[in-house]
A and B are shown apart, each in its own frame.
Chain A
Amino acid sequence: MTPTAIVLAVLLIATLAWAGYRFQRLLRPLFQAPREDRLDHVGQRLWGVVTNVGGHSRLLKNRYSGTLHLFIFSGFVILLTGIVQAFGQGLVPGFSLAPIGGNTWIALLQDLFDVIVMVGLAMAAYNRYVRKPERFRGSNEKDATIILALIFAVVFDMLLHNAFRVATGTDPSAPWRPVSSGLAALFGLVGIHGRSAELPAAIFYWTHVLAVLAFLAYIPTSKHLHIFVGIPNIFFRNLQPNGVLPAADLSQPSIGVKDVHQLGWKQMLDLYACTECGRCQAVCPAHAAGQPLSPKLLIMDLRDQLLDAEGIGGHRQAADGGSRELLGGRILDQTLWSCTTCRACMQVCPLHIEHVPKIVDMRRQLVEQGRMEPRLQDTLASLTQHGNSFNQSERMRARWTRELGFEVKDARKQAVDVLWFVGDFASYDPRVQPMTRALARILQRAGVDFGILYEAERNTGNDVRRVGEEGLYEMLAQHNLETLGKCSFQRIMTTDPHSLNALAQEYRTLGSTYPVIHYTRLLEELLTSGALKPERPLERVATYHDPCYLGRYNGGFDAPRQVLARLGLRVHEMGRCRENSFCCGAGGGRIWMDDTGVTERPSENRIREAVALGDADYFVVACPKDVVMYTAAVQSLGMEDRIQVKDVIELTEMALSLEPAAVA
């Protein structure tokens, strides 16, 4: 072996050993972590890797950053050949990629991608140091800079090495290296060619090799771990339906997560995969509202907690300045309570990191320890005692039917076609009851055979579960499933998207198989079949707000829009629509908590967005909670004369000319 080869071999082995050791330390807790099954549907998992990694499907949703990432990523794949070449040559005399095109097409690609990566790097630097989007706030800036510098060193030195080799006049791949050749020509102008180019070629060979080694050594201590764990993280992503939370084992004396080691192995892998890109932070309604939650910082905090616990050294201080506690220490109770479980973060995360299950798992511990604000505690007590969140008697649940003018079938006593699961807000909230009655009248007019459960209905527990009160959720779910089991019906319709999620998705894990639809779907059917005929088309402009639990969680994007079109409305979409809808702020139990610390309510932020469209007469919603939230928002902004909040039900009633008095 030549002395060069020995030096290179020693350096390489030392770096690999260090990196391997680091990885082993990082991965050790994963092997002792609670089980999570992520090996089913291998085909689907692989396909996800292809589209997400190869196709950059989520990354490209942000055009600028997605493109620059694609430049750097594709460059990396190509330049790997250059790196192999560099090390191969150094270690094994006579090593060459020439037989597979190393001196022809590979050389050409290397040359071109050298430039493409540098363009990507320039874009990244411009983004990070000039544009400075808010999503980077809180990310580790120094780490990002080191990484950018190292990548630059790797590709720049590689390019110069190639250029000087071309300048020596002995490089057989020279005709295939247009960029290097151009540079070599420039060197020639200052007299560097032939023998005199050999020394700089050697220098840049070594700086290139050292940069590669430095990069390799640095990665396992940085956020750029995603180069290695990103692909596995996407492969092992959660394939369960969006609306199903991982269950907690209630037979255990304690549930949830209070120590970072109680996270499942995939939940831990998530922590290493995070690139601190902040896409999640940018879409988080809690963060936008000025609350102490950023999904990005939450993941970073959990990662640092894990690194600290493993003695590998976290990068950042705990929020309380150094306590070893996870809950109330590194992650504050208020941070966890700020989440609306809207799922926007999970929808955008390019690494498919699962924020909401972690948040709920930690909330489960807070609930177990009774750490919650009084209003939430009272609500949970009411749900335990009376099965509704309004602290009212079960017998008041169907009181809204009294002013209806006709009897609604009792689905417990008679078979019905549609079993209407009304939900707490639509049943008890005096501001929503008029709409509930309107829907009853619409169904009556359309000749739908429907019934309700009267006092036997209970809150479905969708948000109870997301608050972290797993036992209460199970109790409510069991009660509802027992009641439904004794009824005869074809399908269930819900007013509330949150009930829809529980009945259609969560209850399936408890053995339910009922078909469940949202009322917007039924209205769409009735309008399409002609059972409902609008008498006076509304001929106005509406913008439609996708409720998180109807849209993102249950894919109900089209039915409400079709209803609006059939009512004669023109829909002017807001920028944040469909999957990218912006949460009203009420989900995940937030509606049972107070607004302290909120600087701008998400609902007000949303109304401003709608008003800024300029021509929307109606702000249309399809969730009873939204009617309450947005009406309040319009009032507090004093924008009553600019836009009106309307539920799809109200608009349908208007178009049908179905005034309450006409029926009663």
Chain B
Amino acid sequence: MHIAVVVKQVPDLVEELEVDAAGTGLDRAWVKMKLNEFDDHALEQAVLLKEAGGAQVSVVALDGEGIDQVLYAAVARGADRALKVDAGTQEPLDSRRAATALAGAIRDLGPDLVLTGVQAADDLFGQMAPFLAAELGWPHVSVVSQVEVAGAAVRVQQEYAGGRMATLEVDLPAVIGVQAAPQPPRYVPVSRLRQAMASGALETATAGAGAGTGGAAVTQLAKPEAGRGAEMLTGSPDQVAEKIEALLRERGLLRG
């Protein structure tokens, strides 16, 4: 079994985000990037599969500032190979473009299974996994919280609203959007990270022609306007409780 994990970075929200001068993107000068949390879970899921039944894990990302660190951390976590795909730009691409840019390299890599995060701060609709599956022409399931190997297929747990779960079997090769690994992503000690960096085993690939095109263009980016201030309910606990009840009824949230 060969598993490819597609990862990317998102802005770290410990810094305040600023819109750049053009008004179409983030001011990158101040933004710190970190690994997308869901991709972190996808990686953990891959490493768990490797530990459970033996698998080769390749981690794949588009080239960009700070990506080396992310790939080394993945190697320190248990990935066997790390592949950096050059799409001719250091700028982050939206999911549509990223999927076209990555598809060729992934096909060359020839994995049986592709795992990626179900969504990201800049892909709240979770389009990365479906776009990638469409590019590759493979089946796809998203919002998955557990992956097990079942012969030539994988059995996955897919989550629905209201906490309902479905168990699905997907033929391989397939693309899975991971919501959560069965256990939280494990800690990578700095010494491991340094050893991974010292081994320096990053591979590179170039995105094919026509890669990184299509998709939508951002015309304007703005901070949300501050809304009306919250209404503070005052009075004794009983009065406050009554007011809350009245409000809930008014909005039709209470029956009976």
Contacts and interface: CB of A to CB of B under 8 A. Distances in A.
Interface of A: 250, 253, 255, 367-368, 370, 372, 374, 377, 380-381, 384-386, 391-393, 395, 469-472, 474-475
Interface string B19-41: 00000000000001010000000
A385 B195 CA distance: 18
B52 interface: no
A472 B195 CA distance: 13
Interface string B182-198: 00101111111111000
Q: Kindly list the 4 A-B residue pairs having the minimum CB-CB distance in the complex, ordered from nearest.
A: A471-B190, A471-B191, A370-B186, A472-B190
A470 to B, nearest CB: 6
B194 A250 contact: yes
A380 B192 CA distance: 14
| B14, B190, B193 pick with most chain A CB within 10 angstroms | B190
A385 B34 contact: yes
B190 A370 contact: no
Size band of the B side of the interface? 10 to 19
A385 B12 contact: yes
Nearest to A253: B195
A172 to B, nearest CB: 73
A381 B193 contact: no
What secondary structure prevails in chain B residues at the interface with A?
loop
B15 interface: yes
Given A370-B187, A381-B187, A393-B14, 9 more contacts: A367-B187, A368-B191, A385-B12, A385-B32, A386-B14, A391-B14, A471-B189, A472-B189, A475-B190
21 contacts: A253-B195, A255-B191, A367-B187, A368-B189, A368-B191, A370-B186, A372-B187, A380-B187, A381-B187, A384-B190, A385-B32, A392-B14, A393-B15, A393-B32, A469-B190, A470-B189, A471-B190, A471-B193, A471-B194, A472-B189, A472-B190
Contact of B190 (A386, A391, A395, A474): A474
A393 B184 CA distance: 24
Nearest to B193: A471
A367 B189 contact: yes
Nearest to A385: B34
What secondary structure prevails in chain A residues at the interface with B?
helix
A186 to B, nearest CB: 73
Interface in B163-204: 184, 186-195
A391 B15 CA distance: 10
A133 B195 CA distance: 50
| A370, A372, A391 pick with most chain B CB within 10 angstroms | A370
Contacts of B15: 393, 395
B77 to A, nearest CB: 9
Interface of B: 12, 14-15, 32, 34, 184, 186-195
A471 B190 CA distance: 5
B183 to A, nearest CB: 10
Contacts of A377: 184, 187
B184 A368 contact: no
B21 to A, nearest CB: 21
Contacts of A391: 14
B27 to A, nearest CB: 14
A530 B76 CA distance: 56
Contacts of A384: 190
A471 B186 CA distance: 16
B2 to A, nearest CB: 24
Contacts of A385: 12, 32, 34
Contact of B191 (A386, A392, A470): A470
Contacts of B186: 370
A251 to B, nearest CB: 9
A391 B12 CA distance: 10
B192 A471 contact: yes
Contacts of B187: 367, 370, 372, 377, 380-381
Contacts of A471: 189-194
A377 B186 CA distance: 8
Contacts of B193: 471
A370 B186 CA distance: 6
Contacts of A472: 189-190
Contacts of A255: 191
A120 to B, nearest CB: 51
A462 to B, nearest CB: 16
| A392, A469, A471 pick with most chain B CB within 10 angstroms | A471
Nearest to B77: A370
Contacts of A381: 187
A469 B187 CA distance: 11
Contacts of B14: 386, 391-393
A475 B188 CA distance: 14
Contacts of A250: 191, 194
A374 B183 CA distance: 11
B190 A368 contact: no
A367 B187 CA distance: 8
| B34, B191, B194 pick with most chain A CB within 10 angstroms | B191
Contact of A374 (B184, B189, B191, B195): B184
Nearest to B194: A471
Contacts of B190: 384, 469, 471-472, 474-475
A391 B195 CA distance: 25
Nearest to B186: A370
A469 B184 contact: no
Nearest to A369: B186
Contacts of B188: 370
Contacts of B192: 368, 471
A256 to B, nearest CB: 10
A196 to B, nearest CB: 79
B147 to A, nearest CB: 20
| B186, B189, B192 pick with most chain A CB within 10 angstroms | B189
Contacts of A368: 189, 191-192
Contacts of A393: 14-15, 32
A250 B191 CA distance: 6
A474 B194 CA distance: 11
A470 B189 CA distance: 8
Contact of B189 (A386, A392, A395, A469): A469
A255 B195 CA distance: 13
A623 B68 CA distance: 39
B193 to A, nearest CB: 7
A116 B119 CA distance: 79
Contacts of A470: 189, 191
A475 B197 CA distance: 14
A74 B193 CA distance: 57
Contacts of A253: 195
A358 B178 CA distance: 40
Contacts of B195: 253
A374 B186 CA distance: 9
Nearest to A370: B186
A475 to B, nearest CB: 5
Nearest to A396: B14
Nearest to A248: B191
A379 to B, nearest CB: 10
Contacts of A474: 190
A391 B192 CA distance: 22
A275 B239 CA distance: 65
A385 B194 CA distance: 14
A384 B76 CA distance: 15
A471 B196 CA distance: 13
A280 to B, nearest CB: 29
B188 to A, nearest CB: 8
